[in-house]
């Protein structure tokens, strides 16, 4: 069973909750999809609504995640023969774990796999890759970037694109292998090589390591590598 997943949440912190879940599932030639709004008892802040277009009022009469059909499906196929696939899937799995679900099968992160196999991309967000890699050409209908089910479908399309380069077994390994990033994607040095900044503004990189708590682990690894902390 291949399970492509996306969740929308009230925020990015541990205390935040899932507000919607989308699954696109494949077993042989059978396709099963789920899209559900869920109410975990937490108000949706305006900043989250501005991203996922889901409001507290929309969740008023919705069930808890553990009562949803999507959650029951995940429980049914929570075994070693299933593979769950997401873009930055660690976030999806952490949010599910906060709700009491721990996945037992294989895990593939299309974000990290793409960083390994298509490093020349300027950015690696799902929606950027959707257009940069022309994944939209495979869409049978226009997909909504704010919808968890549609995002799960984009993950599926990205997975198919990557499969033309490597095998599924390679994806599992690459999903847990750190990426050596060459350029900054944001900030005052956006588009500049990290190696260059390590020579010209070492203090800035050291400041990032010591002060940015939620620094992306691949970026942290790349900064440490260029500063000589990793040999």
The reply to whether 107 and 52 lie within a common domain is yes
Q: How high does pLDDT run on average in the chain? A: 93
Say whether both 169 and 210 belong to one domain: no
Helices (H), 11-147: 46-52, 69-76, 89-98, 110-117, 126-132
Q: What are the residues whose beta carbons fall under 8 Å from the beta carbon of 158, sequence distance 6 or more? A: 87, 110, 114, 126, 129, 130, 133, 135
Range of the domain at 144: 2-174
Of all residues in the chain, the percent with pLDDT exceeding 70 is: 99
For residues 145 and 199, membership in a common domain is answered with no
CATH number at residue 92: 3.30.420.10
As given in the structure block, the two tokens for residue 126 are 């799902």
* C-beta separation of 101 from 71 below 8 A: yes
Tokens of 106: 């294989």
Co-location of 189 and 98 in the same domain: no
* 32 and 51 belong to one structural domain: yes
User: What average pLDDT score do residues 81-94 get?
Assistant: 96
154-200 confidence digits (pLDDT tens) = 999 999 999 999 888 899 999 999 999 888 888 889 889 999 999 99
Examine the fold and report which residue of 174, 191, 222 is the final residue of a domain before the chain moves on.
Answer: 174
From 157, 174, 191, the end of a domain falls on 174
Which of 159, 174, 189 is the endpoint of a domain?
A: 174
Q: Report how far residue 177's alpha carbon sits from residue 184's, in angstroms, rounded to the nearest whole number.
A: 19
Number of domains in the chain: 2
CB-count exposure of residue 209 (10 Å: 0-12, 13-18, 19+)? middle
- State whether 169 and 190 are in the same domain: no
At residue 230, the pLDDT reads: 56
Are the CB atoms for 4 and 155 separated by under 8 Å? yes
* Whether residues 187 and 129 fall in one domain: no
Mean pLDDT, residues 101-109: 96
In angstroms, what CA-CA distances link 178 with 112, 120, 173? 8, 16, 10
What's this model's pTM, rounded to 2 decimal places?
A: 0.90
Shared domain for 152 and 57, answered yes or no, is yes
Q: In what order do the strands lie in the sheet with 2-9?
A: 30-37, 18-27, 2-9, 83-86, 106-109
Question: Quick one: pLDDT at residue 229?
Answer: 66
Identify whether residues 134 and 203 lie together within a single domain: no
16 and 120 fall within a common domain? yes
Same domain, 148 and 100: yes
Question: Of all helices (H) and strands (E), which one includes residue 3?
Answer: strand 2-9
Same domain, 24 and 43: yes
Note the pLDDT tens digit of each residue in 187-212.
889 889 999 999 999 999 999 999 98
């Amino acid at each position: 069973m291949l399970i492509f997943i996306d969740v929308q949440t009230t925020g990015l912190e541990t205390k935040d909750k899932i507000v919607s879940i989308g699954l696109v599932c494949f077993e042989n030639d059978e396709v099963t999809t789920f899209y559900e709004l869920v109410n975990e008892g937490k108000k949706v802040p305006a900043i989250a609504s501005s991203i996922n277009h889901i409001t507290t009022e929309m969740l008023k009469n919705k069930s808890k995640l553990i009562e949803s059909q999507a959650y029951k499906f995940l429980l049914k196929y929570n075994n070693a023969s299933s593979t769950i696939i997401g873009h930055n899937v660690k976030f999806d799995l952490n949010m599910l774990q906060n709700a009491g679900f721990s996945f037992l099968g294989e895990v593939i992160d299309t974000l990290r796999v793409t960083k390994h196999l298509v490093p020349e991309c300027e950015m690696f967000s799902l929606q950027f890759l959707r257009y940069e890699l022309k994944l939209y050409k495979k869409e049978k209908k226009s997909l909504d970037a704010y919808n968890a089910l549609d995002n799960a479908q984009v993950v599926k399309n990205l997975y198919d694109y990557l499969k033309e380069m490597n095998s599924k077994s390679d994806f599992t390994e690459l999903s847990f292998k750190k990426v050596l990033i060459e350029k900054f994607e944001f900030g005052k040095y956006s588009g500049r090589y990290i190696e260059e900044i390590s020579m010209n503004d070492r203090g800035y990189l050291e400041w990032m390591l010591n002060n940015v708590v939620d620094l992306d682990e691949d970026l942290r690894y790349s900064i440490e590598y260029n500063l000589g902390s990793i040999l």
